[in-house]
Structure 1
Amino acid sequence: MSRLEIWAATPTPFDADGRLDVSIVPAQVAHLQAGGMHGAFVTGTTGEFAAMSTDERRRLVEAWAAARPVGFGLAAHVGGTEPGQAVELAAHAEGLGLDFIATVAPYYGEAPTIDLVVDHLRTIAAAAPATALCYYHIPSMTGSTHRPSEIVSRAAELIPTLRGVKFSDGDLLEYDRTRASSTHVRVYFGRDELLPAALSFGADAVIGSLYNGLAPIAHRVTEAFDAGDHPLAFELHRPFRDIASASRRHGGLGFVKELMNELTPDCGRPRIPWGPLPGRDRAAASALAPALRRVLTDASAGKRATA
Structure 2
Amino acid sequence: MKHYQRLEGMVAATFTPMDARGDINLSVIDKYADLMAESGMAGVFVCGTTGESHSLTTGERKAILAQWIKSARKRFKVIAHVGSNCQLEAMELARHAQEVEVDAFAAMAPCFFKPSSVKDLVDFFTPIAQSAPDLPFYYYNMPSMTGVSLSVPSFLIEGKKTMPNLVGTKFTHNNLMEMGECLELNNGEFEVLHGYDEILIAGLALGAVAGVGSTYNYLPAVYQNLFDAFKEGDICTARRMQQKSIEIVKIIIKYGGGVRGGKAIMNLIGVDCGRCRLPVTPFGDDEYSSLKRDLEKIGFLN
Query: 1:13-64: CA deviations, max 9, x gaps?
Result: 0012211110011111100000000111100000000111111101101111
| Alpha-carbon distance between aligned partners in 1 of 2:33 and 2:67, rounded to the nearest angstrom | 10
Note closer, same or farther for the CA distance 1:181–1:131 as it changes in structure 2 (3 Å cut): same
| Alpha-carbon distance between aligned partners in 2 of 1:69 and 1:284, rounded to the nearest angstrom | 37
Query: 1:91-110: CA deviations, max 9, x gaps?
Result: 00100000111101122132
* Secondary structure at 1:112 match in 2: coil
| Alpha-carbon distance between aligned partners in 2 of 1:203 and 1:279, rounded to the nearest angstrom | 40
Matches within 5 A, 1:197-216: 197-216=202-221
1:270 corresponds to? 276
| Alpha-carbon distance between aligned partners in 1 of 2:232 and 2:67, rounded to the nearest angstrom | 39
Distance apart, 1:260 and its partner CA: 2.9
2:22 corresponds to? 18
Contact kept, 8 Å, 2:9 with 2:227, in 1: the verdict is: no
Matching of residue 180 in structure 1 with residue 188 in structure 2: no
More displaced stretch, 160-169 vs 105-114: 105-114
2:174 corresponds to? 170
1:89 corresponds to? 93
2:237 corresponds to? 232
Matching of residue 259 in structure 1 with residue 265 in structure 2: yes
| Alpha-carbon distance between aligned partners in 1 of 2:142 and 2:39, rounded to the nearest angstrom | 26
Distance apart, 1:264 and its partner CA: 5.2
Q: Considering only aligned residues, what root-mean-square deviation do their CA atoms show, in Å?
A: 1.7
2:137 corresponds to? 133
Contact kept, 8 Å, 1:102 with 1:136, in 2: the verdict is: yes
Q: 1:143 aligns with which of 129, 147, 164?
A: 147
Contact kept, 8 Å, 2:8 with 2:42, in 1: the verdict is: no
Distance apart, 1:219 and its partner CA: 1.2
Note closer, same or farther for the CA distance 1:162–1:57 as it changes in structure 2 (3 Å cut): same
| Alpha-carbon distance between aligned partners in 2 of 1:116 and 1:264, rounded to the nearest angstrom | 44
Contact kept, 8 Å, 2:11 with 2:45, in 1: the verdict is: yes
Q: 2:255 aligns with which of 242, 250, 256?
A: 250
Q: 1:190 aligns with which of 189, 195, 217?
A: 195
2:105 corresponds to? 101
1:305 corresponds to? none
Distance apart, 1:280 and its partner CA: 4.5
| Alpha-carbon distance between aligned partners in 2 of 1:119 and 1:15, rounded to the nearest angstrom | 38
* Secondary structure at 1:292 match in 2: coil
Contact kept, 8 Å, 1:4 with 1:222, in 2: the verdict is: no
| Alpha-carbon distance between aligned partners in 2 of 1:4 and 1:261, rounded to the nearest angstrom | 28
2:57 corresponds to? 53
* Secondary structure at 2:219 match in 1: helix
Q: How many residues were matched structurally? A: 292
TM-score with structure 2 setting the length: 0.91
Matching of residue 110 in structure 1 with residue 110 in structure 2: no
1:28 corresponds to? 32
Matching of residue 9 in structure 1 with residue 13 in structure 2: yes
Distance apart, 1:225 and its partner CA: 2.1
Distance apart, 1:123 and its partner CA: 0.8
| Alpha-carbon distance between aligned partners in 2 of 1:7 and 1:261, rounded to the nearest angstrom | 20
1:303 corresponds to? none
* Secondary structure at 2:203 match in 1: helix
Distance apart, 1:198 and its partner CA: 1.4
Question: Which residue identity is paired with 1:274?
Answer: V
| Alpha-carbon distance between aligned partners in 1 of 2:173 and 2:40, rounded to the nearest angstrom | 24
Distance apart, 1:122 and its partner CA: 0.7
* Runs (5+) with no aligned partner, structure 2: 1-6
Distance apart, 1:119 and its partner CA: 1.1
TM-score with structure 1 setting the length: 0.90
Aligned identity (percent) is 31
2:246 corresponds to? 241
Distance apart, 1:275 and its partner CA: 2.3
Distance apart, 1:157 and its partner CA: 2.3
* Secondary structure at 1:164 match in 2: strand
